[in-house]
Structure 1
């Protein structure tokens, strides 16, 4: 079972987390953040990971890439209630790792919620397929050009 292969990230994983987030973000979000106009915010994202990896209550689960020694295949970060980030390296898209990462995180969360870019149809479709529902709440993204994000919640029966 792939869920059993996830491990808790350590501060030494910050660069690898950045690398996966950058690869996935450039591949999936170029229509929202055109790279020629909005280069990937490497320094800010690295600082975000360095802070998250030592923040009390935040869990970051990673799956090492068996084919590439120094690379992660995917990760998921969350706290008690908020799914903060989920990414799969593009070389592993379609492999089921996103669902496995989601299962790992949701099992540790109470009243799971997340924010997703409103124009990220692929991610929204994935979340909705897993039962997440839009709440109707919106906010502005932290990164230029500051697109809208929507909140989603996973109802528990």
Structure 2
């Protein structure tokens, strides 16, 4: 996939970012955040996107979904060292978009790091396949039930 298809998100994309994050989160993380017990924190996530989209040094790249006008197919948010968030709409899983978004981000980063939910086996497997390694550091996630996150780093050869 051509990385030039990604565009820099604008504050007008905040709601679409929320929509992709919600769809991907519910599809992939229901075993960690059971929806009946922990409803998706839409207001908090939207506030986080609004802040990130105006924070100096943070880049948010998005890919518009050709199949669904007005929807995003995927996004990646990062700064110079931290890959903050990566998500692909579930309808586009398995199409290579996650790797393309990751490649676009890490090309701009120095000493890339990320935090991933420890029980998100699909994401951890994806990152490890791309060469990311666990550092051994953990922290609690920001949303209830506050599951563990593991830090990962991408070694540069």
Tell me which interval the TM-score lies in, with the shorter structure as reference length. Answer: over 0.9
Secondary structure class of the residue paired with 1:14? helix
- How far apart, in 2, do the equivalents of 1:69 and 1:96 lie? 20
Q: Which residue of 2 aligns with 1:98?
A: 98
* Distance in 1 between residues matched to 2:2 and 2:20, nearest whole Å: 18
- Aligned equivalents of 1:108, 1:41: Cα separation in 2: 30
Q: Secondary structure at the match of 1:49?
A: helix
2:3 counterpart residue number: 3
Runs of 4+ in structure 1 off by over 6 angstroms are none
Q: CA deviation at 1:65?
A: 0.1
Tell me, which stretches of 5 or more residues in structure 1 are unaligned?
none
How far did 1:30 drift?
0.1
CA distance in 1, matches of 2:108, 2:61: 11
1:31 aligns with 2:31: yes
SS at match of 1:100: helix
Following superposition, the deviation at residue 76 of structure 1 comes to 0.1
Unaligned runs of 5+ in 2: none
Does the residue aligned with 2:125 lie in a helix, a strand or coil?
Answer: helix
Q: CA RMSD in A?
A: 0.4
Q: Which residue of 1 aligns with 2:22?
A: 22
Q: Taking structure 1 as the reference length, what is the TM-score of the superposition? A: 0.99
Per-residue CA deviations over 1:103-138 (Å, capped at 9, x if unaligned) read 000000000000000000000000000000000000
- Paired residue for 1:121? 121
The residue number in structure 1 matching 2:149 is: 149
Distance 1:2 1:27 in 2: 26
Give runs of aligned pairs for residues 72-111 of structure 1, distance below 5 A: 72-111=72-111
Name the SS for the 2:43 alignment partner. helix
Shift in Å, 1:100:
0.1
Q: Report the CA distance between 1:2 and its aligned residue.
A: 2.8
Quote the offset at 1:144 in angstroms. 0.2
Count of matched residue pairs: 157
